[in-house]
Amino acid sequence: MRKNNKNATNFSSAAIFLIFRLTDFSNLIFNLMDKNKSTGKELLWQSRFSEPFDREALLFSSSVDVDKVLYQEDIKGSIAHVTMLSEEAIIPVEEARLIIEGLEDIEQEISSGALIPDWEDEDIHTVIENRLKEKIGPIAGKMHSGRSRNDQVATDTRLYLKKVIGELGEALDGLKTLLVEKADIYRNTIIFGYTHLQRAQPVSAGHYYLAYFNMFLRDGERLKDLFKRVDISPLGAAAFAGSTLPINAKRSMELLDFSDLFQNSTDAVSDRDIIIEFISACSIIMMHLSRFCEDLILWSSSEFNYIEISDAFSTGSSIMPQKKNADIAELVRGKTGRVYGNLMSILTIMKSLPLSYNRDMQEDKPPLFDSAGSTVSSVRIFTKMLAHTRLNEKRLKTLTGEDLSLATEIAEYLVRKNLPFREAHRITGKIVSHAIEKRTSLPKISLEEYRGFCDLFNEDLYDALTPEASINSKHSHGSTSFASVEQQITIARGKLRK
Ligand code: ARG
């Protein structure tokens, strides 16, 4: 464990810090050159062994560089455990006070950068315990009474998950709020709705944004539901079978603000299903984002030119000066692959593991931390980028007015004149092919020509042949009609408030 000199002046402490880091780094490289050299450090479990742990094996198995992220959760868990131990008279109150004060100091030391967790300490739990021993002596060893690193790490993970689920939920709230705003701003703007990436029917842009609002709404609900299963304290399960000491798991649960307590100590330390569930929820969020990104990337190309992403969220090319790339959207789409990979990774790590704890489970943290970081940052940056993206309304108006995507209106017009839909579809197909041949659009075909296909056509056909009419004639539930979109916006606003 390294300890920086906190008493030095600002300048010299920075210099010392640098020297410390450099020497430490070169020491690390030097020491690793002699991988058989013992670390000289006593590991928590060392006493049973006659030979020191191989240095390369220690480097291989150390998780400090990854699990140091959990230092606050670890210290919080230890303070709760020690408080409970003293309340149950398992350790004297005075000693508990010393331990807790020491832990609070260590939290400061780590957060200020004065203490840099050392990989040779094996994991973050040991970093903290060893530092406590340096500070208060052998009393530090009492902290671990009635506890194992197995329930300790399970507790840290659940506390971490509660925190990141909160952050992700907040980020999603921001996105949902923006989508409702966008839906409101653009509710009368007409865009193409696509199926098979072919222009299908005109829709209100508000309807489009609300489609995503509903997806992210479910994503948020999924997180809330998952939170209930995460919010269960595993502390007090010890290694997996419980403890002979009179520990009070319910009290630890209360102190850590968990809503519920494990029922089975083996289950409490052996499963990582909540991590799998969390990464699945992240994967679904990323899937939604990545589909949205795909639209934005396509729509910002000169071929589509439906939207303008602000310069502040676009990149250029080092060789082609005209380029404006939607890199942020592409990166969000790319990170989706990473998160899916993490899901596969944790599922595979857990597959076939015999009960109860196995060290394989330490490999749960890189996919967990990476998924949380990638998903929270993606939702946040995507929201910011979307807020700085506008629709090219003029171009969309011209394009939607001239397009063949009103063909469904013609078919449904004939259905209203009592023709079976299949027949109406067949006739309309012929009309579309005629329009393509004549290089014209449906509203520009004369009534005479229409009548040549079917004598049910009258002048009133043209009333139906505008994108606005097409949209407004949709009367079914949840449709794209302007009235329906307005209703959906009101409902969405109500859901935002919850
Ligand atoms: N670093 C370990 C992990 O994350 C902590 C638990 C170690 N337990 C053990 N029995 N070796 O899983």
pLDDT band at 32 (very low <50, low <70, confident <90, very high): low
The string over 263-274, giving b where at least 16 C-beta atoms fall within 10 Å of a residue's C-beta and e elsewhere, is: eebbebbbbbeb
pLDDT for res 6:
42
Q: Cα–Cα distance between 299 and 208 in angstroms, integer?
A: 13
Structural domain range at position 417: 398-496
User: Do 292 and 385 have their domain in common?
Assistant: yes
Domain membership of residue 193 (yes or no) is: no
Q: Is the distance from CB of 315 to CB of 327 less than 8 angstroms?
A: yes
- From the list 389, 360, 44, the residue with the least C-alpha distance to 212 is 389
CA 68 to centroid of ligand 1, rounded, Å: 13
Q: Average pLDDT in the 129-133 region?
A: 97
Residue 46's Cβ-count burial label (10 Å; 0-12, 13-18, 19+) is exposed
pLDDT for res 351:
98
CATH code, domain carrying 204: 1.20.200.10
Q: Average pLDDT in the 311-322 region?
A: 78
Assess whether the C-beta atom of 153 lies below 6 angstroms from ligand 1. yes
pLDDT for res 37:
53
Instruction: Work out the mean pLDDT of the chain and round it to a whole number.
Output: 91
User: Do 444 and 346 have their domain in common?
Assistant: no
User: Do 133 and 169 have their domain in common?
Assistant: no
Q: In Å, what is the CA distance from 105 to each residue of 13, 72, 99, 133, 291?
A: 19, 12, 10, 13, 47
Domain membership of residue 259 (yes or no) is: no
| Residue of 123, 156, 355 to test ligand 1 pocket, by largest number of atoms within 8 Å of CB | 123
Assess whether the C-beta atom of 63 lies below 6 angstroms from ligand 1. yes
CATH code, domain carrying 37: 1.10.275.10
Strand partners, 203: 191
pLDDT band at 188 (very low <50, low <70, confident <90, very high): very high
* Residue found under tokens 């989508």: 179
Q: Cα–Cα distance between 242 and 57 in angstroms, integer?
A: 30
Instruction: Indicate the residue type of 142.
Output: K
CA 125 to centroid of ligand 1, rounded, Å: 9
CB within 8 A of 471, min separation 6: which ones? 190, 202, 203, 204, 480, 481, 482
Residue 22, pLDDT > 80, answer no
Domain membership of residue 254 (yes or no) is: no
pLDDT for res 136:
98
Q: Average pLDDT in the 77-97 region?
A: 98
pLDDT for res 33:
52
pLDDT for res 41:
65
Residue 3, pLDDT > 70, answer no
Secondary structure class of 308 (helix, strand, coil): strand
Q: In Å, what is the CA distance from 398 to each residue of 53, 301, 391, 461?
A: 74, 17, 13, 20
User: Do 378 and 347 have their domain in common?
Assistant: yes
Domain membership of residue 260 (yes or no) is: no
Domain membership of residue 447 (yes or no) is: yes
CB within 8 A of 18, min separation 6: which ones? none
Atom 7 (ligand 1): residue with closest C-alpha?
149
| Residue of 66, 68, 362, 369 to test ligand 1 pocket, by largest number of atoms within 8 Å of CB | 362
Strands (E), 213-252: 232-233
pLDDT for res 46:
76
Which atom of ligand 1 lies at the shortest distance from residue 123's CA? 1
User: Do 458 and 339 have their domain in common?
Assistant: no
pLDDT for res 12:
42
User: Do 140 and 168 have their domain in common?
Assistant: no
* % of the chain surpassing 70 pLDDT: 91
User: Do 177 and 69 have their domain in common?
Assistant: no
Q: Cα–Cα distance between 274 and 488 in angstroms, integer?
A: 33
Domain membership of residue 255 (yes or no) is: no
pLDDT band at 38 (very low <50, low <70, confident <90, very high): low
Residue 330's Cβ-count burial label (10 Å; 0-12, 13-18, 19+) is middle
Looking at the annotation, which residues are catalytic? Answer: 196, 317
Residue 11, pLDDT > 70, answer no
pLDDT in tens, 439-451: 999 999 999 999 9
pLDDT in tens, 340-385: 999 999 999 999 999 999 999 999 999 999 999 999 999 999 999 9
pLDDT for res 16:
37
CATH code, domain carrying 429: 1.10.40.30
Which atom of ligand 1 lies at the shortest distance from residue 361's CA? 12
Q: Cα–Cα distance between 22 and 18 in angstroms, integer?
A: 6
- What is the helix (H) or strand (E) element at residue 194, kind and residue range? strand 190-195
Domain membership of residue 443 (yes or no) is: yes
Q: Between residues 41 and 226, which one has the greater pLDDT?
A: 226
**Residue at a domain's end among 392, 425, 455:** 392
User: Do 96 and 141 have their domain in common?
Assistant: yes
User: Do 379 and 237 have their domain in common?
Assistant: yes
| Residue of 119, 150, 158 to test ligand 1 pocket, by largest number of atoms within 8 Å of CB | 150
Domain membership of residue 253 (yes or no) is: no
Tokens matching residue 361: 């489970």
Q: Cα–Cα distance between 322 and 313 in angstroms, integer?
A: 16
pLDDT for res 47:
77
DSSP state, 325? B
pLDDT for res 402:
80
Q: Cα–Cα distance between 94 and 101 in angstroms, integer?
A: 11
User: Do 239 and 275 have their domain in common?
Assistant: yes
For the chain, what is the domain count?
A: 3
Strand partners, 232: 260
Q: Between residues 300 and 35, which one has the greater pLDDT?
A: 300
pLDDT band at 105 (very low <50, low <70, confident <90, very high): very high
pLDDT for res 457:
96
pLDDT in tens, 134-184: 999 999 999 999 999 999 999 999 999 999 999 999 999 999 999 999 999
User: Do 410 and 285 have their domain in common?
Assistant: no
**Residue at a domain's end among 371, 392, 413:** 392
Tokens matching residue 162: 């509660």
**Residue at a domain's end among 375, 392, 409:** 392
pLDDT in tens, 414-440: 999 999 999 999 999 999 999 999 999
User: Do 346 and 422 have their domain in common?
Assistant: no
Q: Average pLDDT in the 470-474 region?
A: 91
Secondary structure class of 495 (helix, strand, coil): helix
Q: Between residues 7 and 443, which one has the greater pLDDT?
A: 443
Atom 12 (ligand 1): residue with closest C-alpha?
362
What's the angle, vertex CA 419, arms to CA 417 and CA 420, rounded to 5?
140
